[in-house]
């Protein structure tokens, strides 16, 4: 008796309307109940298109060919999972139960399935939480729990590890394995190899729209050759989880001396950013407690920690974007060319002159019709007389041209920002931050959605910014990037930076 397949693709392909060439060509793929398969590829290889083709989301966007058959119910979690939150609810419990309730399922059964879905993902304690109090990773898991509550037979997950810490990725891999053991199947598409891809039965590579079989585990050299970024750390230099100990770190004075001698410089490091006693509370609940942090001039520091630890809240507090419901205390000081400037309660637009902000969701910071126009209007022109307007606009155009070059966006200058991949949208927001020439860049999850080439592009940008005297403070769950790119790693755990658990990065 032939094995029942939940997914069958034979000679499948897809061409977008007005596309010069096919995005997918001659795809053969079969998934049986119990199977978990990852398909990895560079940005532009067609991984997201494959997921949308399987789940019927491309019927009006182009032409498909070949045989595509899905047995049972297939659902997809896209690469922007927050966009799949309904917007109709405010509590986690209501959001996760919504699809079952709308289908008219029995109330107690829907509630039971919702608790099971949340518990399998390790977030059942969020049941009574408001959605707007969750971290990006937590909202991502809530969106997935909502899909699981609907009892699908096939899960198609596009970059499901975005915004998730390593331990949560391992837990997600185990939850997806349990879903498969219960008779479902999972197809994952991504640009990065991580703990979720590692949990799959098989990993294949999508190269320029064609599927290449690689077996259960692709080698590191194969991943490198195919342009796929491996987030897992290497060797002894990997950062530890917050509950583990770190090797002693160099003082930033000695690290700066090493770097200065290599660069032929003699001046000691100055402190670019100083944070003292920073505390943040929302709805009476403490999020951050007595944070002390120094960032040296020319230093790249990564902040790591579990989902919900307060990493994004820390960056939001620095740039003044916490919102009216948050209560803060402490001091933030930026050392400019003159005497130190205390930001205190300064509004966000004043802080932007010193702190360049690149958020976790780049789409929320974009509004213009083209990349160039986005940069032209990223910040208002400085106050000027009418007779000086032409000169001021020429200077802005020169700044925009420089920012495009420094972020590698020259060839996309007339592209709509939402037609860019997520990594290029991040690069565009970084370019926008450069317009005011800040001394410090705050990057929230800068490696999200990046393949190998995009990681290299990010590294070139941060190193160039540092060479120009800038400093970078980044939050990340990417242990490989944190360990090999920056000077220090700070571990944020339960709202506190543990000064005894700072880890050394790869200074240079």
Report CA torsion sign: 495, 498, 499, 501.
negative
Q: Is residue 346 part of a domain?
A: yes
Does residue 390 sit in the same domain as residue 463? yes
State the total domains in the chain: 2
Instruction: Summarize pLDDT for 127-178 with one digit per residue, the tens.
Output: 999 998 888 889 999 999 999 999 999 999 999 998 899 999 999 999 999 9
Residue at 285 is within a domain: no
- Same domain, yes or no: 245 and 156: no
204 and 306 inside one domain:
no
Is 367 within 8 Å of 374 (Cβ atoms)? Answer: yes
**With DSSP H G I counted as helix, E B as strand and the rest as coil, what are the percentages for the chain, rounded to 5?**
35, 25, 35
Residue 311 has pLDDT above 80, yes or no: yes
Residues 128 and 255 in one domain: no
Tens digits of residue pLDDT in 211-265 = 987 777 788 888 999 999 999 876 533 444 443 434 333 333 333 333 333 444 4
On the CB side of 419, CA atoms within 13 Å amount to 9
Residue after which a domain boundary falls, among 209, 230, 251: 230
Domain contains 251: yes
259 shares a domain with 177: no
Q: Is the pTM of this model over 0.75?
A: yes
Contact in structure between 7 and 187 (CB atoms under 8 Å): yes
> Is residue 457 domain-shared with residue 344, that is, in the same domain?
yes
- Domain membership flag for residue 330: no
**Given 203, 230, 257, which residue is the final one in a domain?**
230
pLDDT in tens, 312-369: 999 999 998 887 778 888 988 988 555 667 777 788 888 888 999 999 888 888 889 9
How far apart (Å, rounded) are the C-alpha atoms in residues 346 and 365?
20
Q: What is the DSSP letter of 55?
A: T
* pLDDT at 115 (0 to 100): 97
| Three-class secondary structure of residue 453 per DSSP | helix
* 191 and 259 belong to one structural domain: no
Interatomic CA distance for residues 431 and 428, integer angstroms? 5
Residues 242 and 177 in one domain: no
Q: Please report the pLDDT score of residue 111 as a whole number.
A: 95
Measure the CA–CA gap between 255 and 310, rounded to whole angstroms: 27
* Extended strands (E) in 23-152: 24-31, 36-40, 62-70, 74-77
Give the confidence band of 475 by pLDDT, cuts at 50, 70, 90.
very high
The 10s digit of each residue's pLDDT in 433-471 is 888 889 999 999 999 989 999 999 999 999 999 998 899
In Å, how far are 39, 90, 422 from 456, measured between CA atoms? 22, 39, 15
| Cβ(112)–Cβ(37) below 8 Å | no
In contact, 228 and 212? CB cutoff 8 Å:
no
Same domain assignment for residues 187 and 55: yes
Same domain, 388 and 476: yes
DSSP code string of 457-485: HHHHHHHHHHHTT-EEEEE-S-HHHHHHH
Q: What is the pLDDT of residue 13?
A: 97
Which residue range is the domain that position 481 belongs to?
235-268+297-325+336-504
Q: Residue 301's beta-bridge partner residues?
A: 473, 488
CA-based radius of gyration for the chain: 24
Which of 230, 246, 281 corresponds to the end of one domain?
A: 230
Whether residues 217 and 240 fall in one domain: no
- Is 286 a member of any domain? no
Domain membership flag for residue 92: yes
Selection from 444, 171, 165 nearest residue 308 by Cα = 165
Q: Is residue 1 part of a domain?
A: no
Considering the domain boundaries, does residue 180 fall inside one? yes
Pick from 145, 230, 152, 160: which is nearest to 196 by CA?
A: 160
Distance CA 172, CA 117 (A): 11
Residues 96 and 82 both lie in one domain: yes
At residue 501, the pLDDT reads: 46
The CATH number that applies at residue 138 is: 3.40.50.300
């Amino acid at each position: 008796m032939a094995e029942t397949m939940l997914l069958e693709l034979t000679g499948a392909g897809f061409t977008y309307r007005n596309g010069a060439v096919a995005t997918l060509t001659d795809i053969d793929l079969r998934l049986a109940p119990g199977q978990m398969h990852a398909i990895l590829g560079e940005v532009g290889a067609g991984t997201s298109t494959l997921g949308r083709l399987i789940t019927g989301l491309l019927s009006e966007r182009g032409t498909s060919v070949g045989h595509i058959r899905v047995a049972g119910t297939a659902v997809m979690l896209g690469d922007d999972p927050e966009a799949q939150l309904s917007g109709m609810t405010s509590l986690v419990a209501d959001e996760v139960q919504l699809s079952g309730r709308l289908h008219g399922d029995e109330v107690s059964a829907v509630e039971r399935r919702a608790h099971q879905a949340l518990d399998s993902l390790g977030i059942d304690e969020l049941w009574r939480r408001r959605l707007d109090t969750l971290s990006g990773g937590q909202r991502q898991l809530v969106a997935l729990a909502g899909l699981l509550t609907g009892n699908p037979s096939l899960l198609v997950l596009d970059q499901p590890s975005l915004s998730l810490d390593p331990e949560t990725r391992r837990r997600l891999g185990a939850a997806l394995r349990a879903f498969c053991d219960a008779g479902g199947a999972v197809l994952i598409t991504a640009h990065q190899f991580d703990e979720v891809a590692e949990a799959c039965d098989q990993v294949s590579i999508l190269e320029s729209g064609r599927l290449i079989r690689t077996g259960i585990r692709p080698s590191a050299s194969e991943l490198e050759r195919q342009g796929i970024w491996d987030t897992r750390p290497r060797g002894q230099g990997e950062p530890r989880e917050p509950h583990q100990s770190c090797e002693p770190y160099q003082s930033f004075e000695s690290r700066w001396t090493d770097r200065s001698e290599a660069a032929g410089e003699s001046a000691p490091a100055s402190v670019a950013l100083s944070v003292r006693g920073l505390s943040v509370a929302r709805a009476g609940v403490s999020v951050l407690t007595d944070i002390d942090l120094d960032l040296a001039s020319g230093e790249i520091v990564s902040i790591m920690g579990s989902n919900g630890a307060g990493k994004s809240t820390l960056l939001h507090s620095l740039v003044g974007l916490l919102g009216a419901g948050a209560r803060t205390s402490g001091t933030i000081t930026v050392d400019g060319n003159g005497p130190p400037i205390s930001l205190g309660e300064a509004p966000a637009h004043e802080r932007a002159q010193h702190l360049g902000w690149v958020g976790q969701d780049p789409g929320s910071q974009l509004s213009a019709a083209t990349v160039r126009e986005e940069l032209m209007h990223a910040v208002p022109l400085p106050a000027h007389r009418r007779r000086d307007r032409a000169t001021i606009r020429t200077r802005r155009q020169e700044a925009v041209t420089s920012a495009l070059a420094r972020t590698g966006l020259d060839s996309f200058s007339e592209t709509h920002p939402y037609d860019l991949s997520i990594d290029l949208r991040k690069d565009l927001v970084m370019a926008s931050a450069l317009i005011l020439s800040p001394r410090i860049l705050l990057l929230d999850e800068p490696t999200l959605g990046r393949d190998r080439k995009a990681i290299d592009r990010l590294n070139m940008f941060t190193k160039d910014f540092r060479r120009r005297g800038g400093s970078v403070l980044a939050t990340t769950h990417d242990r490989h990037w944190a360990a090999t790119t920056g000077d220090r790693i700070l571990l944020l755990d339960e709202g506190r930076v543990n000064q005894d658990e700072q880890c050394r990065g790869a200074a240079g």
